[in-house]
Structure 1
Amino acid sequence: MNNQANPNSFLRTIILVSTLGGLLFGYDTGVINGALPFMSESFNLNSFTEGLVASSLLLGAAFGSVFGGKLSDYIGRRKNILYLALLFLITTLGCTLAPNVTVMVICRFLLGVAVGGASVTVPAYLAEMSPVESRGRMVTQNELMIVSGQLLAFVFNAILGSTMDDNPNVWRYMLVIAALPAILLFLGMLKMPESPRWLVSKKKNEDALVVLQKIRREDRAKSELREIQTAFTEETETKKANFIDMIAVPWVRRILFLGIGIGVVQQITGVNSIMYYGTQILKDAGFQTKAALIGNIANGVISVLATFVGIWLLGRVGRRPMLLTGLIGTTTALLLIGILPLIFEGSPALPYIVLTLTVTFLAFQQGAISPVTWLMLSEIFPLRLRGLGMGISVCGSWIVNFFVGLTFPILLDKIGLSTTFFIFVVLGLVALTFVKKFLPETKGFTLEQLERNFRKYNDRSDKVSSKNEVV
C-alpha cells in the first residue's frame, strides 16, 4: 500500500514538524542572553530585575510543564502542540511590544507556559511515535532542535547587536524572530497524526492502527498495537491517572522520584547560567559587549555539534554511563572556571580561558546529560501517567532552573564569578551521587517492557528490602 511504501519518510516529517516546538524552546530561552544587556538600558534594570526578566519564563515553564502534561493526556499530544504554537506566537509578540518591565515579566511568564508545555509534550509525542530501535535517536532530535534554537538566538543576537547597537530597541528585533517558527509549527501540526498510544488510551484502536500503518510495516503495526493494548489493560491500579494515584502506588512512586531527580540533575549543573548569561559571563571575564556576543556563538555551535555526538552515542552506549561521564566532565569544567580566574586575574588571556571552559562544559552537557535527560523522562512513565508524570518531573526541573536564573546575576554581582561556580561544583557532586546510586538503565527496552520491569522491581522489593537495586 502507498502508506506502507515509506513509513520512514513520514516519520521524518513528524520529527521535523513537531520538533519546531523544541526550536522555539531553544530560541526563547537563548535570546535573552544577548537581548538582556540592551533591555537593561531601555528599562534601567539592576541585577535583581535582570534575573526576574530572565527567570520569569522559567517559572512559567514550571507551570506549563505540569498543566501541559496533564492537558496532553486529556486532549491528545497533537492538539496540545497546536495550542502551544498559538501561545508561542501571541506571547512572542507581547514580549516584543512590551512597554515596561511589568508587561515584559508577565509576557515572559506566559511564554514560559508554552515553553514548559512543549518541553513535556514534544518528547512524549516523539517517544510514542518511534519504534524501539530508534527511539533514542528520534526523541533526542528534539534536544538537537533546542540547542539549534539557542544557536540561532546567539547568531541573531550577535548580528543585530553588532549592526544595530545604537538602536535602543534592538532587543525587540531579537525577540520577534521567534514568531516565524511558531507559525510554521501550527501549520505543520494541522497535518500530523495523533499518537497511537494516546488513541489506544481513549479506546480508539482502529484509529491507532491507521496511524501505526503509516509509520510501520503492516505486520509490525498490528503486533505493536497488540502490545500497546496489552500494556494499557494491565494498568488497572493507575487508572485515574492523578497525583494521589502516583504517590499511592509504590512502583509508580519510585518512577516519579527518578523522574524528578533526572530533571533536577540536568539543571543543578548550572548549564542555564551559561545559556542565559553567557554574554554577561564573558563580559565579566574581560570581553567587551560586542566581542562577548560574538564569542557566545561558540557556546551555541559546540552545543549543536555535541548534541549530534550525543545522538550517535545513544544508539551505542547505555543511558547511565553517558550521564555519569557527562556529569564528571561538567563538574570538572565548573571547578576550573572557578579556579583559573583567581590565578589569571587581570590577564588578557582570561576571557579566552573562560570561553574555552564554557565550551568544554557545554560539550559534556549537551553531548551527554541533556539528551539522556529528555529521553529517559519520555521512557520511564507508564502510558496513562506519561503526560502527568513527565509534567511533574519537568516542573521540578524548571523550578530549579528558575532559581538558577533568578539568583545567578545576583550571585555574580555579590560574590563574583569564581565563588558562584564553586557552588555549582558542589551541586554537580550531588548529581553524580544520585545517578550512581538510584538511576536504572533503560536502553534496549520497549516502553511496555520498561513498565513491566518497574512493576517486577516493586514485586521483588516487597520480598527483598534492597533500596539500591536497579532494573
Structure 2
Amino acid sequence: MEKSPNQRVTQYSLIAAFGGFVFGLDAANISGAVRFVSSLFELDSIQQGTVVGCALLGVIVALLFTGTLCDKFGRSRVLLGIGLTYSLSSLLSATALNYEMLIVGRFIGGVAFASITVSAMYIGEIAPAAQRGKFVSINQFMIGLGLLLAFIVNYFLVKLIGDIGWLTNDNVWRVMLGAELIANAIWVGLLLTIPESPRWLIKQGRKEEAKAVFNLIAPADQVETLSAQVEKSLEQDTKLDTLGQLKSLFSKRMRFVLFIAVSYAIVQGATGMNAVLFFAPMVFEQVGMSVEDTFMQTITTGVVGLLATLIAIGFVEKLGRRFLTVAGLVLVVVAHTSTYIGFEQANFVFSDNAVEVLSVELNQEGVDTAKIESLRGATFDNDVALKQKLKELFNKKELPIVSGPIINETIQGINAPLVLFGIFAFLAAFNLSIGPIMWVVFSEIFPNSVRSVALPVAALVQTISSWSIQQFFPWQLDNLGVASIFMLYAIIGAVGLVVMYFALPETKGKTIEDIEQEYARA
C-alpha cells in the first residue's frame, strides 16, 4: 500500500530522531554507571563530573564543524556518520580499562550527541509548517523513550548483582554501556533509508532531486509551490560559506533572532535537567533511598518525562511555542522551590539503631565497620557537613558505595513528599515545554542562508550551559548542599521566565520562509 506524504514525513522524522533515543540510552546508562565506575576507578567528585561532563565537551568540539559538514555533505550523510561515531564510543566506553580510556570513549560519544542538532535541522526542513512543531518534538520523545528503557534495564541489572555469578559491582556498568551497541546498529541501518533534505538539495542546485523528495513528503499540488518558495528565499540570500554565515548570523538584522536563541539555550541548559538526568540515582540518594530504590525511582522519572513529552507533541501546534515555554518555566520555578524547601531542614543523626543497621550493610560490602562505629551519636546539621566527614573516614573506592546507605539510615527532617513532587514536577515541566520546544524554535527562527551554522551555534550555547551544570554537580553536592543547588536552579528559571515572557514570539503555523521575512529582516 502506497504511503501518504504525512506517513513518510513521520517515518523519516522518527528515523532522524532515533539519535535522540541513543542519546537517552547513553544519558540513563551513565547515570546508573557512575556510582560503580567511581568505586572501581576511585574517582573524586570532580572526576565523577568529568566522566559525565566530558561528553558535552565532545559536543562543543563537534558543533564547531557540524554546520560546515552539514552544508558540504548534507543532513542525512552527517547523521549516518554520527551513528557510526556512537558505535565507536559505546565500544570504547564499555571496554575501558581505566579512567582515561573511559573519558576518551565518553568524549567521542559527545561528538555524536550533535545528532540532536542535525536531526532537528533535518526534520525542520522536511516537515510541513502546520506540523513542524510536532515532528521536531519527536526528538525529545525519542530521548525520553531511550531514558525509560535504559532506566528499566539498569534497575534489573542492579537487582541481579549477586544473583548472577559473573555480574558484580565492578562490571555491571560495562553491561549498561555496552548494550547501546544494539541500538547504534539499528539506527545506522535505518539511516540508509531516508532521503536528503530538499532544502539542502535546492541550495546545492540539485532542483530535480529536491522536487523528487518533495513529491515524497508533500501533496503533489504543493510541490511546485514549495520548491519555488525555497528557491526564492535562497535567491534573496547570497550563498555563504561557513565564515560568511557566521558574519551574517552576528549581523544587526539577526540580533533579535540570535538573542532569542541564546537566551532560550542558556535557560534550557542551566535550569538543572542534566543534573537530574545524568545523576538521577545520586539525586534520589539525597532523599534517603536505598541503592535499589534510587534505581526504581529513575524508572518513574522516565515514565513522567515520556508522558510529558507526548502531551507536548499533542499540544505544541494547538497552544503554540510561546504559551508552552512560559507556562513550563512557571512550573520549573515552582518545582525547584518545592525541592529546596523539602531539603532545607534535613539533618543526619547516627543513632544506635542506625549504626547497627549500617554496620551489617557495610560489612557485607567489605567495609571496615569500625569507621561507622566512630560516628555513633554524631549529628550533622546538613549534607555538606556529613559528606566532609565521610570523606575523612572512607577512601575513594568505598565512598560511592557507602554514601547511599548512610544517608538512607541517618537522614531526618526532610520533607520527602515536597522533594519528590519538586523533582517529578520539574521533569514534567521540562519535557512539556523547554525540552522539546527549544528545538522547535531553533528549527524555525533561523533563515535558510545561515541555518547550517546557526543551529549548531545555538546548540553550542545550550551545551556549554548544560555542561556547566553536570560537570560541577557532584562537587556542588559536596560543597554547597542539595538545597542550595535547587534554589540556584529556581532563580535561573525565574530569570528565564521574565526574558521569555517579554521576548519570545509565536511561530506556530508559519513556514520557515515566512518567519524569516518577519523576524530576520526587521
Q: TM-score range by the shorter chain?
A: over 0.9
| C-alpha separation in 2, matches of 1:8 and 1:319 | 22
Which structure has the larger Rg over C-alpha atoms? 2
Q: In the alignment, which residue of structure 2 is the partner of 1:188?
A: 190
Q: Are the aligned partners of 1:282 and 1:354 in contact in 2 as well (CA < 8 Å)?
A: no
TM-score of the superposition, structure 2-length normalised? 0.84
Letter in 2 for 1:113: V
Is the 2:144–2:306 Cα contact (8 Å) retained in structure 1? Answer: yes
5 Å-filtered alignment, 1:7-406, equals: 7-115=5-113, 117-164=114-161, 166-236=168-238, 239-242=240-243, 244-247=246-249, 249-343=251-345, 345=347, 346-347=411-412, 350-406=415-471
> Cα offset for 1:342?
2.4
How many Å separate the matches in 2 of 1:61 and 1:392?
11
- Percent of counterpart pairs with the same letter? 29
**Structure 1 length as normaliser, TM-score?**
0.92
Matched, 1:421 2:486: yes
CA contact (8 A) 1:259 1:389 kept: no
In structure 2, how many angstroms separate the alpha carbons of the residues matched to 1:351 and 1:155? 23
Aligned to 2:501: 436
Asked whether the equivalents of residues 338 and 418 of structure 2 are also in contact (C-alpha less than 8 Å), the reply is no
Q: Deviations over 1:93-140 (max 9, x none)?
A: 01011111111111111100101x202100110110101111111111
- Do the aligned partners of 1:232 and 1:383 also contact (CA within 8 Å) in 2? yes
Aligned length: 453
Contact 1:279 1:292 in 2 (8 A): yes
Equivalent residue, structure 1, for 2:405: none
Instruction: Report the alpha carbon displacement of residue 256 of structure 1 after superposing the two structures with TM.
Output: 2.4
State how far apart, in whole Å, the 2-side matches of 1:432 and 1:63 are.
Answer: 30
Q: Any conservation in 2 of the 1:246–1:256 contact (CA below 8 Å)?
A: no
CA displacement at 1:356 relative to structure 2: 2.9
Quote the Cα distance in structure 1 between the aligned partners of 2:96 and 2:299: 27
CA distance in 2, matches of 1:69, 1:321: 30
Amino acid at match of 2:469: V
Aligned residue type for 1:239:
L
Q: Deviations over 1:144-201 (max 9, x none)?
A: 0011111122111111112126341000000011111211111111121000000000
- CA RMSD for the aligned pairs? 1.7
Answer 1 or 2: which has greater helix percent: 1
Q: By how many angstroms is 1:352 displaced?
A: 4.9
- Corresponding residue of 1:468: none
Deviation digits for residues 281-309 of structure 1 (CA, Å, limit 9, x no counterpart): 11121001111011111111100000001
Rate the CA distance shift 1:248–1:360 in 2: closer, same or farther, 3 A: closer
3-state SS in 1 of match to 2:289: coil
- Taking the aligned partners of 2:261 and 2:202, their CA distance within structure 1 comes to 24
Deviates more, 1:213-222 or 1:11-20: 11-20
CA offsets 1:384-405 (integer angstroms, 9 cap, x no match): 2112100011011111111101
Deviates more, 1:190-199 or 1:159-168: 159-168
Question: How far off is 1:8 after superposition?
Answer: 2.3
Query: CA–CA distance in 1 between the matches of 2:464 and 2:250?
Result: 24
Q: Quick check: 1:148–1:300 contact (8 Å CA) kept in 2?
A: yes
Give 1:353 deviation, angstroms.
4.0
Q: Point out where structure 2 has 5 or more consecutive residues left out of the alignment.
A: 163-167, 348-410
SS of the counterpart of 2:318? coil
CA distance in 2, matches of 1:320, 1:121: 23
Q: Which runs of 5+ in 1 are unaligned?
A: 459-471
Native 8 Å contact 1:65 1:119 kept in 2: no
| Partners of 1:197 and 1:228 within 8 A in 2 | yes
8 A Cα contact 2:342 2:414, kept in partner: no
